[in-house]
Amino acid sequence: MSHTTAAARPVASDAQKAPAGSAGDGPPNASAAARFVVRLAAATGAVSGVLAPLALGVMCAFIVWDVFARYVLGAPTIWANEIATYLMVVVALVGASFAHRADAHIRVEILIDRFGAPLRRGLETVGAWAGLWFVLVAGWQGVEFVAKSYGYGSRTFSLLLTPLWIPQLAIAAGWLMMIPVVLGEIEALRPARSRLGAWALLLTPILFALILLALGDVRAEIPGLGLDVRLALTAGVVLVAAALHSGAGIAAGLVAMVGLTGLLLWGVVEAGGGPGAMVAAFALAIIGLMLAGVRVFLAIGLAGLIGVHVVTPVALPEVTAERAWEVLNSFTLTALPMFVLMGVLLLRSGVSGDLFGAMVHWIGRLPGGLAHAGIAACTIFSTVSGSSLATAATMGKIACPEMLERGYNRPLTFGSIAAGGTLGILIPPSIALIIYGSTVGVPIPKLFLAGIVPGLVLSAAFMVVVAIWSKLDPVAVPAGPKSSWPERLRSLWAIAPMGLLVFAVLGSLYLGVATPTEAGAVGAFAALVLCAAKGKLSLRSGAQALREATLTTAFLMLIIVGASILTFVFDFLRIPQNLAAAVVAADVSGPLVILAIAAIYIVLGMFVETTAMILMTLPVMFPIVVGLGYDGVWFGVFVVILVEVGLITPPVGLNLFILRGVVPSAQLGEIARGVAPFGVAMLLVLILLYFVPDLALWLPAQLD
């Protein structure tokens, strides 16, 4: 997995963040076509890097204004929420090319890291060509999707009666803007072998478009395969261009990557495989693509797109555009960038350092006190962050150096902070719970309440691990600093703004003042005010915060879009319903099913990014669990804790890589050793949650 993420690193210029060789005009001896590709990629990334963050800022401002107008002026708007939802589409898809240019779309690197540089670059080049085919198809379908909306004269069922083609333009524009950025990535990874190759790369989108225009709306299928002729011909254009630009080996790799995925899925269908076999085939295809270095969103989306044309009898629906619009056109999901922005602003305010300092003053003198302070700070920071990666990165930068300086055991230092960081996606506000609730239709306020008690129990369990470690190995935990009562009281005053921010978010939510999305916007605005009050805000730093939040939002939302394409296939084949019916008919006991689900999540967590894991599995798991009589709110908390285990499970535990990135001296081996006992504690809490479901359900029940 990439060692850093958009949530945990500053945004550099395009030249700094883009793949090597993509900045500037390319090599001095590059052809005019190659230089044009590089310039076009840089220009597109720069434009999207302005438009998407600007859309995010306006979206936040509109939502905050709506809350203010409703409760202060008594004059609620009729436009703010609708326009904010449309801006969400802009942030996600127009921001996608900015994120791609900045290398923020994550990939699993556990296997390709072991290869030599030539082989790794070759695999990345193959993945980039596969990505080019995907975005070309997505761009084509996006244009058709918008054209149909325009032709039909479709309008929204709202007071604004907005013509749908206007907000849907962002779908087509977003995918089309990805095309030059991916072209630049290909040229950066492996410069053209000849002038002909450079022109082949540049002309690929043009030839692609000409073929589509020539064929028009022809939907003829290749006999015996069910593949749309247009799809096959355009795939041939990309394949020929890959051979001319990057060589026969890359073209062969592209055929193998896409062809084997299609053959695997087609073979299962031809063999009459049931829903379980189809799920296994898709999982194998996606994990195979990820291990080959294909970016996570692309691995899921590519498997879904191939599945649409190989598994289903649908000739060629505008699936990438339709699914992108359906999943992104959601006011509920706009909460995600709001909470991301709030976390970014908090990082800049410096309040996180004050928070750790306060915890050290109060409990630092205890055995293992600094580790306890780090976990407590992670717990409190989680109440305003919503992201485990941001929590781990922030506290890793602050707590780890001080603990190491005072002589703390290195595995204990890294393990306690890596584990404490996982609380960011459980204790509300939680991005994972927002994604879960939006995907399965469970009320997000109830999910937020459900995460509080289990989050506190998990935090206490981590402190028990530290206490046991301190007892067994006193040398590992030197005595912490002794603080006077005046120092302790002053430290509380220093973190008072954090308390006000928590009240602004959760108070506005549970007092009925704001929805989860509006609470996120209110929190982001409060964090902005906090930055200004602490003298940490300027026009430049505010713009930088918007850019950072856009990067994180774009990579998360593209994974959601990819998963939505995959869900289309699952729904078409009725895989979730058939699996749920099969489990119920087999009369398998509930505990055995939950145990199997837990095992699947733990294994997947070793290889698959957390958001992708949730979105890949919920369409299958949720109907089974609900069909067995388990509560959807309880299962949401259960799943998020399982996902937290994946965050600290080698070889792809993101929090392990986050700490390795923010603490240069940290080694993955010692981080993994340190986190192991905390992982055991998480599994014990899961067992407790199963036998005492009221840990998650008691607070939500108070809303009924």
Whether residue 7 lies inside any domain: the answer is no
The pLDDT value given to residue 219: 59
Asked if residue 225 has pLDDT above 70, the reply is: no
Closest residue by Cα to residue 522 from 447, 601, 449, 429: 429
Residue type, 579: L
Asked if residue 564 has pLDDT above 80, the reply is: yes
Beta-carbon count within 10 A of 456 CB: 15
The mean per-residue pLDDT over the stretch 280-291 comes to 87
The dihedral formed by the CA atoms of 308, 312, 314 and 316, expressed in degrees to the nearest 10: 20
Q: Which has the minimum average pLDDT: 82-96, 162-176, 295-309?
A: 295-309
Do residues 568 and 550 both lie within one domain?
yes
Among residues 273, 304, 328, which one ends one of the domains? 328
Do residues 484 and 355 both lie within one domain?
yes
pTM: 0.83
The mean per-residue pLDDT over the stretch 674-696 comes to 94
Do residues 189 and 210 both lie within one domain?
yes
218 band by pLDDT with thresholds 50, 70 and 90: low
The mean per-residue pLDDT over the stretch 88-101 comes to 93
Do residues 259 and 394 both lie within one domain?
no
The mean per-residue pLDDT over the stretch 575-582 comes to 76
Rounded CA gap, 336 and 77, in Å? Answer: 22
Whether residue 134 lies inside any domain: the answer is yes
Whether residue 151 lies inside any domain: the answer is yes
406, 374 contact by CB (below 8 A): no
4 band by pLDDT with thresholds 50, 70 and 90: very low
User: pLDDT: is 495 or 592 the higher one?
Assistant: 592
365, 558 contact by CB (below 8 A): no
Do residues 310 and 339 both lie within one domain?
no
Query: What percent of the chain stands above pLDDT 70?
Result: 92
Provide the terminal-to-terminal Cα distance of the chain, rounded to the nearest Å.
42
Among residues 328, 363, 383, which one ends one of the domains? 328
Contacts 24+ apart (CB under 8 A), 625-632: 625/593, 625/594, 625/597, 627/580, 627/581, 627/583, 627/584, 628/583, 628/584, 628/590, 628/593, 629/590, 630/590, 630/594, 631/693, 631/697, 632/440, 632/442
Query: What percent of the chain stands above pLDDT 90?
Result: 28
Do residues 285 and 387 both lie within one domain?
no
Among residues 299, 328, 357, which one ends one of the domains? 328
185 sits in which H/E element: helix 165-189
97, 174 contact by CB (below 8 A): yes
Whether residue 187 lies inside any domain: the answer is yes
pLDDT digits (tens, 9 = 90+) for 394-409: 788 888 888 888 888 8
The pLDDT value given to residue 252: 95
| Percent composition of the chain: helix, strand, coil (DSSP 3-state, to 5) | 75, 0, 20
The mean per-residue pLDDT over the stretch 574-603 comes to 81
Vertex 262 angle, CA 257 and 266, to 5°: 155
Asked if residue 688 has pLDDT above 90, the reply is: yes
Do residues 386 and 239 both lie within one domain?
no
Whether residue 6 lies inside any domain: the answer is no
Whether residue 621 lies inside any domain: the answer is yes
45 band by pLDDT with thresholds 50, 70 and 90: very high
DSSP string, 606-627: TTS-HHHHHHHHHHHHHHHHHH
30 band by pLDDT with thresholds 50, 70 and 90: low
The mean per-residue pLDDT over the stretch 556-561 comes to 86
Q: Per-residue b/e over 292-310, b at no fewer than 16 CB within 10 Å?
A: bbbbbbbbbbbbbbbbbbb
Rounded CA gap, 373 and 467, in Å? Answer: 12
Asked if residue 118 has pLDDT above 80, the reply is: yes
The mean per-residue pLDDT over the stretch 207-225 comes to 72
User: pLDDT: is 543 or 655 the higher one?
Assistant: 543
DSSP string, 304-334: HHHHHHHTS--S---HHHHHHHHHHS-TGGG
Q: Per-residue b/e over 54-80, b at no fewer than 16 CB within 10 Å?
A: bbbbebbebbbbbbeebeeeeeebeeb
- DSSP code of 526? H
The pLDDT value given to residue 630: 93
Extract the tokens encoding 18: 């883009």
509 sits in which H/E element: helix 508-510
Residue in the structure block whose two tokens are 């960038």: 337
Rounded CA gap, 23 and 179, in Å? Answer: 17
Highest mean pLDDT among 144-153, 176-185, 623-632, 660-669: 176-185
98, 554 contact by CB (below 8 A): yes
Highest mean pLDDT among 146-150, 157-161, 183-187, 492-496: 183-187
Asked if residue 476 has pLDDT above 70, the reply is: yes
Do residues 365 and 282 both lie within one domain?
no
Asked if residue 156 has pLDDT above 80, the reply is: no
Highest mean pLDDT among 14-18, 149-153, 267-271, 491-495: 149-153
Asked if residue 432 has pLDDT above 90, the reply is: no
Do residues 157 and 270 both lie within one domain?
yes
pLDDT digits (tens, 9 = 90+) for 162-196: 888 999 999 999 999 999 999 999 999 999 888 89
448, 429 contact by CB (below 8 A): yes
Highest mean pLDDT among 50-54, 318-322, 423-427: 50-54
Do residues 633 and 494 both lie within one domain?
yes
Do residues 32 and 150 both lie within one domain?
yes
Asked if residue 694 has pLDDT above 90, the reply is: yes
Whether residue 569 lies inside any domain: the answer is yes
Whether residue 499 lies inside any domain: the answer is yes
Rounded CA gap, 357 and 159, in Å? Answer: 51
Do residues 342 and 421 both lie within one domain?
yes
693 band by pLDDT with thresholds 50, 70 and 90: very high
Which residues 6+ apart lie within 8 Å of 510 measured at CB? 445, 449
pLDDT digits (tens, 9 = 90+) for 495-539: 788 788 888 787 877 777 777 888 888 888 888 888 888 888 888
State whether the Cα torsion 437-442-445-450 is positive or negative.
negative
The overall average pLDDT reported for the chain is 84
Extract the tokens encoding 521: 């916007």
The pLDDT value given to residue 652: 64
Task: Compute CA distances 168 → 155, 174, 477, whole Å.
Answer: 11, 10, 57
- Which residues span the domain enclosing 599? 332-701
User: pLDDT: is 504 or 315 the higher one?
Assistant: 504
The pLDDT value given to residue 238: 93
The number of folded domains in the chain is 2
The pLDDT value given to residue 519: 83
